[in-house]
């Protein structure tokens, strides 16, 4: 049996879930960018990239990384633009994910029955929150989806930087390993520039 507000809470949870998933998709794209720039295998790239506990730290790491690898000026500028867009959207995503919401049954302006999810602090007290917070969160989701696809395009069209160890290690293959010589021990190829 449905209880008062179940439908409204489900719709609100779906809205917050969609913006959270859109954010996570963008974070995954940033991990792919990190791997693209470093050439590390997926497990190593993931361990390093996700060792930063904040998404801001992950974006900063990418800014520093793209500043020092030879990826080309246009791809570098485009990536920095996408990172800046994520920085801007992050406050709206955080607002959606961290605002405390409650439930009201009566519209205080009209004194009529109007069950809906509302922020615990009204927009007058939470200046970041717009009166139509649903539209605000939906815009954040759309903006995140746009960044996701722009990062996908960046990955498709950006050259791999030159690396000391050669080409990127695709699909998780190990580094170019030379079978051990029992008389010498294990050897690794000499990096070529």
Q: What's residue 179's pLDDT? A: 43
For each of the chain's 193 residues, which pLDDT tens digit applies?
566 667 777 888 888 899 999 999 999 999 999 999 998 888 999 999 999 889 999 999 999 999 988 889 999 999 999 999 999 999 888 888 877 777 777 777 777 777 777 777 777 777 778 788 889 899 999 999 999 999 999 999 988 887 666 655 554 444 444 444 455 444 444 444 4
Question: Dihedral angle at the C-alpha atoms of 43, 49, 54, 58, nearest 10 degrees?
Answer: -150
């Amino acid at each position: 049996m449905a209880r008062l507000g179940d439908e409204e809470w489900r719709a609100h949870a779906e809205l917050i879930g969609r913006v959270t998933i859109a954010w996570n998709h963008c974070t995954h794209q940033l991990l792919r960018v990190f791997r693209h720039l470093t050439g590390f295998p997926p497990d190593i790239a993931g361990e390093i990239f996700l060792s930063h506990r904040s998404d801001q730290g992950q974006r900063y790491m990418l800014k520093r990384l793209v500043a020092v690898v030879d990826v080309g000026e246009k791809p570098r500028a485009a990536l920095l633009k996408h990172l800046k867009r994520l920085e801007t959207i992050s406050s709206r995503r955080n607002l959606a994910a961290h605002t405390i919401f409650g439930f009201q049954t009566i519209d205080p302006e009209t004194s009529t029955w109007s069950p809906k999810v509302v922020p615990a602090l009204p927009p007058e007290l939470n200046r970041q929150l717009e009166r139509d917070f649903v539209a605000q969160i939906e815009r954040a989701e759309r903006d995140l989806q746009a960044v996701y696809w722009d990062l996908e395009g960046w990955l498709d069209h950006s050259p791999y930087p030159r690396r000391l160890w050669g080409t990127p290690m695709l699909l998780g293959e190990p580094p170019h390993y030379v079978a051990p010589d029992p008389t010498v021990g294990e050897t690794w190829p000499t990096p070529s520039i």
